């Protein structure tokens, strides 16, 4: 090998090492954000494995995307079902053997509104006529951070995770998609000019439990909106997360994809899910949103546009 080839090999080697070190630094900064404590990912993967229904697959759960996996973990961590969830998603596309390799950076804020709703009921009817706290759902408000990447037949393998408890005082001041996080009555209706979508989303064999009582499970609601917006594919009868086109305007781990979920916050059993995509590769549109309202199994689909 001549001197030029040796120098080129050395340069490419150090460039790759520096790039890998840069990704490690991005992951470490995200996972170890102030207040977050790193978590062993093995028990989390074991918990996920217990939910997979595609057990005949070589890699059960391998087709499930990072947003669903993050939601499954957060939802299993507390017993409450009267919840409000805010998810933020960023992505860095690396390269491996000449092919793009997306790293997903996901933050989930999962709020338990059960005791807020109970307090409102006590104020309206008196404590003697209201069920005990357990009936409304127990559990802390929690924030989670996850990093996923494709690996070994998995669309989204969990690499790192961290978590922190959100105090009631902090939660009371938090914002969830332009709404107070602990206000059960603050819905999505006034956040956009919604237009109903006709038609149905394709079906596919379930990869994990898709229902919570009469309504869609949060992770499944996310997957349906992913298919609706072409961030996942189900045209062949099987679900596959793709993530869609990476936005040119996306910078580092900064989020550009936002999911908001309200579950069982009113009188009827219902789950209302909004997927808002920003940083679009579009000169006209700033953001597009898709919405699924599921009331006792009756589903409506909507969309909204935000122009520049």
The domains of the chain are located at 32-307
Alpha-carbon span 114 to 217, nearest angstrom: 17
CB 150 within 8 A of CB 126: no
* Residue partners of 61: CB distance under 8 A and separation at least 6: 48, 49, 51, 52, 54, 69, 154, 207, 208
CB 291 within 8 A of CB 272: yes
Stated pTM of the model: 0.91
The pair of structure tokens assigned to 53 is 């229904």
pLDDT tens-digit series, residues 150-163: 998 899 999 999 99
% of the chain exceeding 90 in pLDDT? 78
| pLDDT confidence of residue 77 | 96
| Cα–Cα distances in angstroms (integers) from residue 262 to residues 2, 8, 38, 282, in the given order | 64, 55, 27, 29
| Cα–Cα distances in angstroms (integers) from residue 81 to residues 131, 168, 212, 265, 289, in the given order | 16, 17, 9, 9, 24
- In the block, tokens 């150090």 appear at 14
Q: Please say if the pLDDT value at position 4 is more than 90.
A: no
| Cα–Cα distances in angstroms (integers) from residue 247 to residues 146, 150, 206, 225, 287, in the given order | 20, 19, 29, 18, 12
Q: Please say if the pLDDT value at position 121 is more than 90.
A: no
Kindly report which listed range (9-18, 92-101, 133-142, 182-191) carries the lowest average pLDDT score: 9-18
| pLDDT confidence of residue 131 | 86
Q: Please say if the pLDDT value at position 55 is more than 50.
A: yes
- In the block, tokens 């009469």 appear at 214
Q: Please say if the pLDDT value at position 9 is more than 90.
A: no
Q: How confident is the model at residue 20 (pLDDT cuts 50, 70, 90)?
A: low
CB 92 within 8 A of CB 26: yes
For residue 222, report the phi and psi dihedrals to the nearest 5 degrees.
-60, -45
Beta-ladder partners of 85: 110, 261
| pLDDT confidence of residue 98 | 82
Kindly report which listed range (37-46, 124-133, 157-166, 276-285) carries the lowest average pLDDT score: 124-133
Alpha-carbon span 16 to 300, nearest angstrom: 48
| pLDDT confidence of residue 125 | 84
pLDDT tens-digit series, residues 250-307: 989 999 999 999 999 998 999 999 999 999 988 888 999 999 999 999 999 999 999 9
Taking the alpha carbons at both ends of the chain, their separation in whole angstroms is 55
């Amino acid at each position: 090998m001549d001197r030029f080839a040796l120098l080129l090999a050395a340069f490419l080697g150090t460039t790759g090492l520096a790039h890998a070190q840069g990704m490690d630094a991005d992951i470490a900064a995200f996972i170890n954000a102030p207040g977050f404590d790193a978590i062993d990912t093995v028990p989390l993967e074991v918990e996920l494995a217990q939910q997979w229904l595609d057990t005949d697959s070589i890699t059960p759960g391998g087709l499930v995307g990072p947003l669903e996996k993050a939601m499954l973990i957060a939802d299993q961590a507390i017993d409450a079902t009267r919840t409000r969830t805010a998810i933020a998603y960023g992505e860095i596309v690396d390269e491996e053997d000449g092919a793009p390799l997306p790293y997903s950076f996901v933050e989930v804020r999962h709020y338990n509104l059960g005791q807020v709703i109970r307090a409102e009921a006590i104020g309206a009817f008196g404590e003697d006529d209201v069920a005990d706290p357990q009936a409304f759902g127990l559990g802390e408000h929690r924030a989670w951070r996850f990093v996923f990447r494709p690996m070994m037949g998995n669309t989204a393998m969990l690499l790192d995770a961290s978590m922190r408890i959100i105090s009631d005082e902090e939660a009371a001041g938090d914002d969830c998609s332009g709404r107070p996080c602990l206000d059960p009555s603050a819905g999505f209706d006034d956040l956009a000019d919604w237009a109903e979508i006709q038609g149905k989303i394709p079906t596919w064999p379930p990869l994990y439990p898709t229902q919570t009582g009469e309504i869609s499970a949060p992770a499944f609601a996310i997957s349906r909106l992913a298919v609706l917006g072409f961030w996942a594919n189900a045209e062949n009868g099987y679900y596959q997360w793709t993530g869609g086109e990476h936005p040119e305007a996306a910078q580092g781990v900064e989020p550009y994809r936002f999911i908001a979920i309200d579950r069982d916050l009113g009188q009827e059993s219902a789950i209302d899910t909004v997927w808002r995509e920003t940083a679009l590769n579009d000169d006209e549109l700033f953001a597009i949103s898709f919405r699924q309202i599921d009331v006792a199994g009756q589903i409506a689909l909507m969309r909204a546009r935000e122009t520049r």
